[in-house]
Chain A
């Protein structure tokens, strides 16, 4: 299981890019932290989630 934004999800084996697409995120508005470190956008496609990973996905809303 992978903990994504505090919730256990069966996402192990999936790439970060695939997970973001499946969950409906617009990647241009997103910041992803994998196990406490920022994950550069260029690595979303080749980074596979593993059992025990902790992922934080922040999707920014516009306005300021």
Chain B
């Protein structure tokens, strides 16, 4: 059954209210890294009717991604940026998605993210997370970063929180679980952290700046 853009938006307004939806319509958010965090964040934001999403990941879909990342068996081997854009088009075809299969570096991030007022850090490697967060906060003086640290292991989902580190940096996670400790990486727990990030993004767009 087809749904018109107006009908789709009316359904969103019934859940978010007109004033809030009007803010979501024009929001612009970058999602850096499209793994367990980023694929879940992007889908949550597209479902909320965020108007513009900028997706960035240089990787391909692999079998080991499937426990936590929003890809299908048929998408194995495809670039994540394209595969996720295809999925988003089936969820919300009116979301303006710019999808790039590039690797963000200290040299290119300010150019690539120049138009994105909110940046989600959704990488997996700790060193890459630190590089991106420092790079964006340093080079883009108005950008707000919603980052993640600590979502591996089988610890309680209740340990995952959102905190505001400083004026332009929010951090989601338990702060201690490292995938390198070998305690596992549970899709459901990663999704909790992604939902914290997506919720914080939507709160910021709606005008709430506290976690």
Contact = CB atoms under 8 A, between A and B. Distances in A.
A61 B166 contact: no
Given A30-B130, A33-B166, A38-B134, A64 B177 contact: no
Interface string B93-128: 000000000000000000000000000001111110
For chain B, what secondary structure do more than half of its interface residues adopt (helix, strand, loop), or is it mixed? Answer: mixed
Contacts of A40: 134, 138
B124 A63 contact: yes
B51 interface: no
Given A56-B166, A58-B149, A64 B35 contact: yes
Contact of B130 (A31, A36, A56, A64): A31
Given A33-B165, A56-B166, A64 B127 contact: no
Interface residues of A, number: 17
B177 A36 contact: no
A60 B126 contact: yes
A30 B129 CA distance: 9
A38 B140 CA distance: 11
B150 A63 contact: yes
Contacts of A58: 130, 133, 147, 149, 165, 169, 171
A64 B133 CA distance: 15
Interface residues of B, number: 37
A36 B179 contact: no
A39 to B, nearest CB: 8
A64 B132 CA distance: 14
Contacts of B126: 28-29, 59-62
A33 B185 CA distance: 29
Contact of B127 (A29, A33, A36, A56): A29
24 contacts: A29-B126, A29-B129, A29-B130, A30-B130, A31-B130, A31-B137, A31-B169, A33-B169, A58-B147, A58-B149, A58-B169, A59-B126, A60-B133, A61-B149, A61-B176, A61-B179, A63-B151, A63-B152, A63-B185, A63-B190, A64-B35, A64-B36, A64-B37, A64-B151
Interface of A: 28-31, 33, 36, 38, 40-41, 56, 58-64
Interface of B: 33, 35-38, 122-127, 129-130, 133-134, 137-138, 147-152, 165-167, 169, 171, 173, 175-180, 185, 190
